[in-house]
Structure 1
Amino acid sequence: MSSYESESSPSSGSAAASRLSRRAFAGGVAGAAAAVGVGAGPARADAPATAERPFAATPGRHAKRPNILFVLGDDLGWADLSSYGSPHIKTPHLDRLARQGVRFTNAYSGSATCSPTRFSLYTGRFPGRTKGGLAEPIADKSAGLEPTHPTLASLLRDAGYATALIGKWHCGFLPDYSPTKSGWDEFFGNFGGALEYYSKLGGGGEYDLYEGAVREGDATYKDLRYYTRILTERASAYVAREHDRPWLLNLNFTTPHWPWIADGDVAASAEIVRRIKAGEKGALWHQDGGSIAKYTEMVQDLDRSVGEVLRALRRSGQERDTLVFFASDNGGERFSYNWPLSGNKGSLLEGGIRVPTILRWPARLDGGQVSDEPVYTPDWTATLLELAGARPDPAYPLDGTSLAGHLLRGREVPERDLFWRVRGERALRRGDWKYHRGKSGRDQLFHLGRDQREQADLSGREPALLKELRAAWERTEAELLPYPAV
């Protein structure tokens, strides 16, 4: 059944919300698997994310493996786009992307802060399965993504893809950790969690803009223009290249992460730099700066930047065969618009982990669609691997579920739990039900279909369900690494 929803009225997340159009399932990627030498046959929706059962081709649609442009905003809240309900932030380019593809209303990040979510994307696994993923977020050189761990990039590279990461890495520092050690052929960007937009100084006063960094001591890349402009130019140039094979580009903006400096704010930049150089701890956090107006300016700049990259993609002639994905790495921060959700970045309440998520693939998916299926970051790793005909490493089983069968063939997403753990907090979603324990230590139960704001605690009415969901969370948690002592 075809169902559409106006971009000005986001879904409530209820069962009545719009579903994906049946026409979306007409696509297929037969030949993707053939390109990596695997067999044919129907794929099960609940099958592991492998290329052993490629999709059937559909007459009239060629079967080319997609290029993948995976764009992350930084600390962008769930309702910070006008297509998600923001009354004051205008995002016409991302709204157009949503009209051309699928907008997800119940999409989540893999964690509530920057680096753990990136771990869950790059590995397709819960952050707590790796030592580096326990840092929330990474703040020093003691942790990172081990180069021996397979990643989305390394697995796609093994399947014949060119790979690049432009922007924020935040999965460990040199000399031990780097995108070029973990599967990306090319890297241009910053290692840390934040930097001042003009000077490129991190919180400790270090200069943090690199090109192709492999080892400590590699030369930094000097460019003192506004960072979002630089990343946009780099990404536009990458997609416009002549490519002789499919490619993955992880484009990780730092916008709209603090400090609250928009393009042209050179005086505010100079003041932050002065404080950093004077040794003021926390200067980069900019706790005494920012405003809703400034935040709006930064988000709208992010929207323009994404639009510029998409124009370069269209001019290159690759738009039809490029899967474009846009999301945030976690929920919004101080000035974010999250209504009607409670909580923000760092919390496992909805506002801390539910994020705007848009997917477009003209060759395979119809536009104008809305999905209210609960999905989260590890699912996209599994999905992209399947669509690209890449094989996960059986020694590192994925925690995500491939959504390829749902997106392309209309299959139901298999019933499963979405699991989160951060230090001192836990959450699990099953269908419309969510189990949550915050730092107060009190177990709560919410029905998100009726109460997205998580105000009506139903744990007293549903003790058996609470017990069941708590036990499910604890079974998964028992498989993860323990947090180190503080």
Structure 2
Amino acid sequence: MPSRNANNANNQSSGSDRSLTRRAFGTAVGATAATAAVGLPAAAPAAAAEPVAGRIQERPFRAARGKHARRPNILFILGDDLGWADLSSYGSPNIHTPNLDRLGRQGVRFTDAYSGSATCSPTRFSLYTGRYPGRTKGGLAEPIADRSAGLEPTHPTLASLLRGAGYATALIGKWHCGYLPDYSPTRSGWDEFFGNFGGALEYYSKLGLGGEYDLYEGDAEYKDLRYYTRILTERASEYVQRDHGDRPWLLNLNFTTPHWPWIAEGDTAESAEIVRRIKEGGLGGLFHADGGSIEKYKQMVEDLDRSVGEVLKALKRSGQEEDTLVFFASDNGGERFSYQWPLSGNKSSLQEGGIRVPAVLRWPARIDPHQVSDLPVFSPDWTATLLELGGARPDPAYPLDGVGLAGYLLRGERPRERDLFWRVRGERALRRGDWKYYRGKGGKDQLFQLAHDQREQADRAAAEPELLAELRASWERTDAGLLPYPTGS
């Protein structure tokens, strides 16, 4: 049972997720009645919530009339190593992201959304399987860097389960869940794949970490030496405008932007220098440790924003916008040039800056615009949610670790209380309500009350020893059910 302290923390949280309003399934609800049903005052639609001195200003919004809609198309977009505050709607002082900000205004913007892990491939495992990365051998790689591990084709995935329920499925962009010949999106439930298998590639040459060419259509190499983000944007725009007949569709659109190397479109001289280093056998060329800048990073993030905007315009032209659920998030926290304030840590760490991510969701047919939620959610929750909305049943042999949020989004049903769990080599973390248990590589157990200390600087372990012990025990119970890391890793 949750301790008294944990319950008090939940009761005293800001509660902005309670302001989330939604359209009920197939029920026409008047604005005044729907507002009263969730205990909110009637209010005129407000402007987008804007960042104020590094915080997110949250406002309640008026409910709107419900509509009936079919099962949604799903456009699930991931940025790569995008920090929590790298969007202007999340507080960035110098990066302008009008398209993603607009997407958030048109639906729900989540302030306490998390990735399933602190690096690329384990987060993708958690999203595709709906389970903790440590439940599968491939998920133990943090991240996958060779051909020894991957997502086993026998494991059910978001794509395979939705395909079984009648969806057309495609993945465009970064896979990073294993290499050919054993692992591929087309072996794990996606009808179509166009993109790269590895964790990073040079944006023009398409050379990967091992110097290999890494752009594929299906399981065959595809030659295109244009800037990678442009290619993915074109492919995704074509897919969302395609006639899929009566079948709903799932498109996982996984950009590599703004992951290193730090190359914006037009930086052909920098590209040539990195290619030279790669061909000489140096991985440092692709890591680009001596390159990049805040200004270059800004260019890349703003290009990601424009690219998402192009895909959304294509979706609107297709006439499917109303019945398409669009979700955008980062795959983990930001890296060298990300703006993370007020969070501590970055990619690879289980501090907030390594796992808290921007996340926005829009579904015009069912979900009202102008909403902000501080409900803690993480990657496996979206798997469970999309399966429920798509009418697909999880495989009971592979139980999900995420919680479906359809009732919360559409009917105002608060999810059951649960813990969010993370594990990486040398670090552990667990969030319950506003409390976070954290042990870093130094081995010290710490306790933070995030509602008052997002920066994780005021360690409450000594003041709350019983709560610390309870959260530590909860973490260890979950960890005991996962695969151990290989000896010596």
Output the TM-score relative to the length of structure 2.
0.89
Counterpart in the other structure of 1:134? 140
Q: Alpha-carbon deviation of 1:17?
A: 5.5
Residue 156 of structure 1: SS of its match in structure 2? Answer: helix
- The one-character-per-residue Cα deviations of 1:436-465 (angstroms, maximum 9, x if unpaired) are 000000000000000000000000011110
**For 1:194-209, what aligned pairs fall within 5 Å after superposition?**
194-209=200-215
Given that 1:382 and 1:398 are in contact with CA atoms closer than 8 Å, whether structure 2 keeps it comes out as yes
Partner residue, 1:222: 223
Q: 1:212 aligns with which of 211, 218, 243?
A: 218
Q: Is the 8 A contact 2:21 2:409 kept in 1?
A: no
Look up the match of 1:54: none
Bigger shift: residues 64-73 or 281-290:
281-290
Q: CA deviation at 1:283?
A: 1.5
User: Paired residue for 1:6?
Assistant: none
* Equivalent residue for 2:96, pick from 68, 90, 98: 90
Question: Is the contact between residue 21 and residue 366 of structure 1 (CA under 8 Å) also seen in structure 2?
Answer: no
Match of 1:19, SS state, is helix
| CA apart distance, 1:407 | 0.5
Q: Structure 2 counterpart of 1:238, which letter?
A: Y
The letter of the residue matching 1:87 is P
Contact 2:81 2:332 in 1 (8 A): yes
What are the Cα deviations for residues 208-244 of structure 1, in whole angstroms up to 9, with x where unaligned?
000011xxxxx31000000000000000000000111
- Between the aligned partners of 2:165 and 2:420, the Cα distance in structure 1 is 28
Which whole-Å CA distance do the structure 1 matches of 2:154 and 2:438 have between them?
34
Structure 2 partner of 1:306? 308
* Aligned counterparts of 1:128 and 1:387: Cα–Cα separation in 2: 26
Distance 1:111 1:20 in 2: 27
Cross-structure match for 1:144: 150
Identical aligned residues as a percent: 80
SS in 2 for 1:106: strand
The Cα shift of 1:61 comes to 2.1
Structure 1 residue 99 corresponds to structure 2 residue 92: no
Deviation at residue 23 of structure 1 after TM alignment = 4.2
Within-5 A mapping of 1:319-468: 319-468=321-470
CA deviations over 1:160-187 (Å, ceiling 9, x no partner):
0000000000000000000000000000
Tell me if the contact between 1:166 and 1:188 (Cα under 8 Å) persists in the aligned partners.
Answer: yes
Separation of aligned partners in 2, 1:175 and 1:95? 40
Q: Secondary structure at the match of 2:409?
A: helix
2:13 is aligned to 15
Local SS of the residue matching 2:357: coil
**Residue 37 of structure 2 corresponds to which residue in structure 1?**
none
Indicate the SS of the match to 1:167. Answer: strand
CA pair 59-338 structure 1, distance change in 2 beyond 3 A: closer
CA distance in 2, matches of 1:122, 1:60: 30
Counterpart-to-counterpart distance in 2, 1:63 and 1:298: 36
Q: Distance between the aligned counterparts of 2:457 and 2:470, measured in 1?
A: 21
Aligned-partner SS, 1:256: coil
Q: Which runs of 5+ in 1 are unaligned?
A: 1-13, 30-57, 214-218
* Corresponding letter in the other structure for 1:342: S
Q: How many Å separate the matches in 2 of 1:149 and 1:280?
A: 35
Equivalent residue in structure 2 for 1:62, among 57, 60, 68: 68
Q: Output the CA distance in 1 between the equivalents of 2:283 and 2:186.
A: 30
1:74 pairs with 2:72: no
SS of 1:96's equivalent? helix
Q: Deviations over 1:369-396 (max 9, x none)?
A: 0000000000000000000010000000
Inter-CA distance 59–292: structure 2 relative to 1 (3 Å threshold): closer
| Letter of the structure 2 residue corresponding to residue 264 of structure 1 | G
1:282, distance to aligned residue in structure 2 (A): 2.3
Structure 1 residues 134 and 235, CA gap change in structure 2 (3 angstroms): same
In the superposition, the TM-score normalised over structure 1's length comes to: 0.89
Task: Report the count of equivalent residues.
Answer: 441
Q: CA deviation at 1:361?
A: 0.2
1:175–1:468 CA distance, 2 compared to 1 (3 A):
same
Q: In the alignment, is the contact (CA less than 8 A) between 2:333 and 2:355 conserved in 1?
A: yes
**CA distance in 1: counterparts of 2:130 and 2:284, whole angstroms:** 32
Structure 1 position 431, deviation (Å)? 0.2
Contact kept in structure 2, 1:20 and 1:370, CA below 8 Å: no
Residue by residue, what CA displacement relative to the aligned partner does 1:404-453 show, whole Å, maximum 9, x if unpaired? 11110001121000000001100000000000000000000000000000
Q: Deviations over 1:145-201 (max 9, x none)?
A: 000000000000000000000000000000000000000000000000000000000
Give the Cα separation in 1 of the matches to 2:66 and 2:374: 29
Gaps of 5+ in 2: 1-11, 28-63
Query: Is the contact made by 2:68 and 2:366 (CA closer than 8 Å) also made in structure 1?
Result: no
Name the CA distance, whole Å, in 2 between partners of 1:380 and 1:288: 37
Q: Does 1:243 align with 2:262?
A: no
Q: 1:473 to 1:28 in 2, by over 3 A?
A: farther
Aligned CA distance change for structure 1 residues 113 and 22 (closer, same or farther; 3 Å): closer
Residue 227 of structure 1 aligns with an amino acid whose one-letter code is Y
Q: How does 1:263-302 map to 2 (within 5 A)?
A: 263-302=265-304
Q: Distance in 1 between matches of 2:416 and 2:101?
A: 29
- Root mean square deviation, CA, Å: 1.4
Question: Alpha-carbon deviation of 1:24?
Answer: 1.0
Structure 2 Cα separation of the partners of residues 162 and 22 of structure 1: 31
* Residue identity opposite 1:209 in structure 2: L
1:176 has 2:178 as partner: no
After superposition, the C-alpha distances for 1:2-43 in whole angstroms (9 at most, x for unaligned) are xxxxxxxxxxxx8335335564142459xxxxxxxxxxxxxx
Q: CA deviation at 1:63?
A: 3.2
Distance 1:165 1:373 in 2: 28
Amino acid at match of 1:441: G
